[in-house]
């Protein structure tokens, strides 16, 4: 349990990518993958005049602002695989024409492949970079409007922490940098950049606490497949059903609901986006949410009279399909189902319903007006795509398991 976040994020994620037929797919080269023996690589860095770029901030720690946005120029970071395959990209060319190469930044890939841990630096932080290669279902671009929205959400969440319970924490997106749009007539801005993520969970605490990715509770180890799942270390001598419900599932359901009710956000708490923060006593203190590229239900924001002036147009939603994808599939199907299955490996008497039934009840209790926003049946991605290659939704016709 005392392994570092980077180790767990890279190497406790075997046999986990089975939640869809695309989940195991990656176009990342071996040397840039989290599940490889390469410990690190260098991100390309350019110094670019500030007035040539778009920059966004949400209360960055001073030292990160000084490093990435120093005065009249900024640092622009590019994943090396782009240089190997996309030299003709307009924004690669633009970077080379207006930028001056600087020493690269040494990083290790995280479980998402395109978010990169900066090595040996205080405060701990990561770079979420443009990676126009497909991993799982999606190409992993980091377009301007996407990164700007992540900064907007980070800032809004930070100032709205009083709406969330004390088990909620998140990783702030504190700096975003993108190229200006060089093709203003294109149907959507393809100009891209990168984000800086503060890796110290917010709100800050003084105690030294470990972070364990959600999937590491049931994933097997890259180097030693026989190591038992971390779930059992956390359960310890406790009652497995009570532990999983009260320390894992109820808080995550509560966080999904609180984020929806107070902000209209559709949190995506699958095993990769959730981290467990564990104290020196080996108990879970908080659930730390990462990845603020969220869908936003504009109906909910209007219902509660919340201004959306500070948001851009990205991922605004006016219908209910994606709620089911995030809650029923990402959290329920992709994550909770796996925790139940792992638990049954040791406690065979426990049935899925011992977990899903109390979760259904808890959800209805804390969110009685859910039928206003949720479809009756489970939705998921279809294999059809829109003009930007984003998957469309489809109705599976199935009854939800993790909510009424
Ligand atoms: N066990 C896992 N469950 C879900 N996704 C996983 C898992 N392991 C690795 N992944 C990868 O993590 C990514 C999940 O997508 P998602 O949109 O949540 O993350 P992201 O936006 O790319 O990065 P980040 O979470 O760092 O912000 C995908 O690339 C997926 O393949
Ligand atoms: Mg993620």
The pLDDT mean for the chain works out to 97
Domains of the chain (ranges, CATH numbers): 16-198 (no CATH), 210-395 (1.10.510.40)
One DSSP character per residue, 294-318 reads -EEEHHHHHHTT---TT--STTEE-
Q: Which residues lie across from 391 on neighbouring strands?
A: 385
pLDDT-derived band of residue 33, with 50, 70 and 90 as boundaries? Answer: very high
Ligand 1 pocket check for 154: Cβ under 6 Å = no
Vertex 255 angle, CA 14 and 273, to 5°: 25
Positive or negative: CA dihedral 337, 228, 18, 143? positive
- Tokens representing 338 are 């796996």
Helical segments of 185-266, H only: 230-235, 240-243, 250-263
- Taking the centre of ligand 1 as the mean of its atom positions, its distance from the CA of residue 237, in whole angstroms, is 31
DSSP state of 226: T
- Phi first, then psi, for residue 210 (nearest 5°) are -85, 155
One DSSP character per residue, 352-391 reads THHHHHHHHHHHHHH-TTGGGTS-SS-EEEEEEE-TTSPE
Question: Would you say 149 and 157 are in contact if contact means Cβ atoms under 8 Å apart?
Answer: no
Instruction: Quote the crossing angle between the two packed helices 337-344 and 353-366, to the nearest 10°.
Output: 150
pLDDT cut 90: percent of the chain above it: 99
Instruction: Quote the crossing angle between the two packed helices 353-366 and 250-263, to the nearest 10°.
Output: 30
Identify the three-state secondary structure at position 276.
Answer: strand
C-alpha 119/C-alpha 401 separation (Å) is 41
* 173: nearest Cα among 127, 107, 124, 116: 127
Question: Would you say 255 and 164 are in contact if contact means Cβ atoms under 8 Å apart?
Answer: yes
pLDDT at residue 248 greater than cutoff 60: yes
**pLDDT value for 121:** 83
Q: Which residues lie across from 140 on neighbouring strands?
A: 131
- Taking the centre of ligand 2 as the mean of its atom positions, its distance from the CA of residue 239, in whole angstroms, is 30
C-alpha 377/C-alpha 393 separation (Å) is 12
**pLDDT value for 120:** 81
HSE (CB half, 13 Å, CA atoms) of 298? 12
Structure confidence by residue, pLDDT tens digits, 282-323: 999 999 999 999 999 999 999 999 999 999 999 999 999 999
Structure confidence by residue, pLDDT tens digits, 113-149: 999 999 988 899 999 999 999 999 999 999 999 999 9
Which of 16, 79, 111, 213 is the best mutation target for the ligand 1 pocket, counting ligand atoms within 8 Å of the beta carbon and taking the most?
A: 111
C-alpha 173/C-alpha 183 separation (Å) is 27
Residue 319, Cβ density class (10 Å: 0-12 exposed, 13-18 middle, ≥19 buried) = exposed
pLDDT at residue 52 greater than cutoff 60: yes
Closest ligand (CA of 126) = 1
- Taking the centre of ligand 1 as the mean of its atom positions, its distance from the CA of residue 200, in whole angstroms, is 19
* 286: nearest Cα among 275, 300, 298: 275
pLDDT-derived band of residue 326, with 50, 70 and 90 as boundaries? Answer: very high
- Tokens representing 297 are 């239900």
Which residue minimizes the CA distance to atom 21 of ligand 1? Answer: 291
Structure confidence by residue, pLDDT tens digits, 381-394: 999 999 999 999 99
pLDDT at residue 17 greater than cutoff 60: yes
**pLDDT value for 82:** 98
HSE (CB half, 13 Å, CA atoms) of 312? 15
Question: Would you say 95 and 82 are in contact if contact means Cβ atoms under 8 Å apart?
Answer: no
Residue 207, Cβ density class (10 Å: 0-12 exposed, 13-18 middle, ≥19 buried) = exposed
Q: From the CA of 16, give the closest atom in ligand 1.
A: 1
**pLDDT value for 2:** 60
DSSP state of 218: T
Average pLDDT over residues 366-385: 97
* Bigger pLDDT: 299 vs 1: 299
In Å, the largest CA–CA distance within the chain is: 64
Ligand 1 pocket check for 17: Cβ under 6 Å = yes
- Taking the centre of ligand 2 as the mean of its atom positions, its distance from the CA of residue 59, in whole angstroms, is 22
Instruction: Give pTM, 2 decimals.
Output: 0.98
Q: From the CA of 215, give the closest atom in ligand 1.
A: 1
């Amino acid at each position: 349990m005392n392994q570092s976040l980077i180790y767990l994020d890279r190497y406790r994620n075997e046999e986990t990518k089975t939640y869809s037929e695309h989940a195991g797919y990656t176009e990342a080269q071996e040397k840039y993958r989290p599940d490889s023996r390469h410990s690190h690589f260098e991100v390309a860095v350019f110094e670019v005049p500030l007035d040539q770029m778009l920059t966004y901030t949400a209360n960055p720690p001073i030292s990160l602002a000084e490093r990435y946005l120093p005065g009249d120029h900024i640092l622009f970071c590019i994943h090396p695989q782009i240089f190997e395959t996309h030299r003709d990209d307009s924004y690669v060319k633009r970077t080379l024409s207006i930028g001056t190469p600087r020493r690269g930044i040494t990083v290790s890939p995280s479980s998402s492949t395109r978010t990169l841990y900066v090595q040996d630096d205080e405060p701990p932080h990561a770079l979420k970079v443009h990676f126009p290669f497909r991993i799982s279902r999606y190409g992993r671009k980091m377009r301007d409007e996407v990164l700007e929205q992540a900064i907007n959400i980070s800032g809004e969440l930070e100032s709205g922490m009083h709406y969330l319970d004390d088990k909620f924490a998140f990783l702030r997106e504190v700096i975003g940098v993108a190229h200006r749009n060089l093709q203003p007539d294109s149907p959507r801005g393809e100009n891209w950049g990168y984000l800086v993520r503060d890796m110290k969970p917010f709100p800050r605490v003084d105690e030294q606490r470990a972070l364990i990715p959600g999937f590491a509770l049931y994933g097997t180890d890259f180097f030693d497949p026989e190591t038992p799942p971390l779930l059992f270390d956390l359960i310890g001598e406790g009652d497995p059903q009570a532990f999983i419900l009260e320390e894992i599932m109820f808080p995550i359901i509560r966080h999904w609901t609180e984020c929806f009710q107070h902000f209209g956000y559709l949190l995506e708490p699958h095993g990769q986006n959730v981290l467990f923060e564990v104290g020196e006593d080996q108990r879970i203190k908080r659930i730390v949410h990462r990845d603020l590229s969220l869908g936003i239900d504009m109906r909910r924001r209007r219902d509660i009279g919340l201004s959306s002036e500070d948001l851009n147009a990205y991922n605004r939603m006016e219908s209910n399909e994606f709620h089911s994808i995030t809650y029923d599939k990402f959290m329920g199907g992709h994550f909770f189902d796996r925790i139940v299955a792992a638990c049954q490996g040791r406690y065979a008497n426990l049935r899925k319903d011992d977990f899903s039934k109390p979760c259904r009840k808890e959800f209805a209790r804390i969110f009685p007006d859910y039928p206003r926003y949720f479809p009756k049946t489970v939705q998921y991605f279809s294999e059809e795509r829109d003009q930007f290659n984003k998957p469309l939704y489809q109705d599976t016709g199935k009854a939800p398991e993790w909510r009424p």
